[in-house]
């Protein structure tokens, strides 16, 4: 009997959208170096390179990282004295670029409500550099935060998906101990499906994301089911 369902965030609870990472960092840099387009462009390039390097390490070694670490990495190559209020304004510009374009799927709320009414425990496990509050403010704005028993963000962990400890951290957070009684729902065969199956969970693939080639990792793994719409999940797992 299934006791819990744990969801990926980007590409799953929030539908996939191709974003321009450099544009997001340029908004940050334009605040830091207001009026100096050359320095702003150099900082944006340094931030993107630092972020890409961190994601490469996450993909290869499954080590988690944070936005703060990306900023520190970039600062090592692009040092600048920045007042605290300017730094906060720059970070808010970067945050607004991302969170404003990645709303929760409108089908998520009704689907989560149905699962809760069945007595299932619900959680989130996402590989992300964002602070917890960025995600949870978005969930709160979309009216779904209170539908989860717990949300786990890799920015609070040592490891990202598909590392087993990330999945166990999510299980611990929602209060379940048997992975065979858990379903994980995600959009990435490597991070989500292989990671969940590796710890003994059932796994449901949401195959709608246009994952960049540099982020793909070949893996011979098969989900227990493929989901076309979040609204179909309660019926899909009803007999599991």
Domain boundaries, the chain: 4-17+103-237, 21-99
pLDDT of residue 215: 76
Helices 37-61, 67-77: axis angle to 10 degrees equals 120
Six-digit token string for 222: 């098969």
CA 36 – CA 30 distance, rounded (Å): 8
Between 5 and 213, residue with greater pLDDT: 5
Region of 113 (left: φ > 0; alpha: ψ -120 to 50; beta: rest) is alpha
Sign for the pseudo-dihedral over CA of 216, 221, 226, 227: negative
Region of 143 (left: φ > 0; alpha: ψ -120 to 50; beta: rest) is left
Six-digit token string for 99: 């969170």
CA 48 – CA 107 distance, rounded (Å): 33
Torsion of CA 115, 161, 205, 128, to 10 degrees: 70
Residue 213 has pLDDT above 80, yes or no: no
Six-digit token string for 108: 């998520």
Helices 21-32, 84-99: axis angle to 10 degrees equals 160
Q: What is the pTM of this model?
A: 0.95
Residue 63 has pLDDT above 80, yes or no: yes
Residue 77 has pLDDT above 80, yes or no: yes
Name the CATH superfamily housing domain 4-17+103-237.
Answer: HAD superfamily/HAD-like (3.40.50.1000)
Among 75-79, 129-133, 227-231, which stretch is predicted with the lowest mean pLDDT?
75-79
Mean of the per-residue pLDDT values for the chain? 95
Query: Stretch 81-98: mean pLDDT, rounded?
Result: 95
């Amino acid at each position: 009997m299934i006791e819990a369902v744990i969801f990926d965030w980007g590409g799953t609870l929030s539908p996939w959208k191709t974003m321009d990472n450099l544009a997001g960092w340029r908004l940050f840099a334009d605040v830091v170096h207001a009026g100096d387009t050359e320095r702003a462009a150099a900082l944006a390039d340094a931030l993107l390179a630092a972020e890409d390097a961190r994601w490469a390490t996450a993909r290869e070694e499954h080590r988690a990282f944070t936005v703060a670490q990306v900023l520190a990495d970039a600062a090592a190559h692009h040092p600048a004295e920045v007042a605290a209020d300017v730094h906060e304004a720059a970070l808010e510009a970067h945050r607004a670029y991302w969170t404003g374009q990645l709303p929760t799927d409108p089908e998520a709320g009704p689907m989560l409500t149905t699962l809760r009414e069945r007595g299932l425990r619900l959680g989130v496990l996402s590989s992300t550099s964002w602070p917890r509050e960025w995600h949870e403010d978005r969930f709160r704005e979309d009216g779904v935060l209170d539908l989860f028993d717990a949300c786990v963000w890799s920015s609070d962990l040592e490891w990202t998906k598909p590392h087993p400890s990330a999945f166990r951290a999510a299980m611990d957070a929602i209060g379940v101990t048997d992975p065979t009684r858990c379903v994980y729902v995600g959009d990435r065969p490597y991070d989500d499906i292989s990671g969940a199956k590796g710890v003994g969970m059932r796994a449901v693939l949401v195959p709608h994301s246009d994952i960049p080639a540099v982020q793909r990792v070949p893996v011979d793994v098969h989900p227990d089911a493929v989901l076309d719409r979040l609204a179909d999940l309660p019926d899909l797992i009803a007999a599991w």
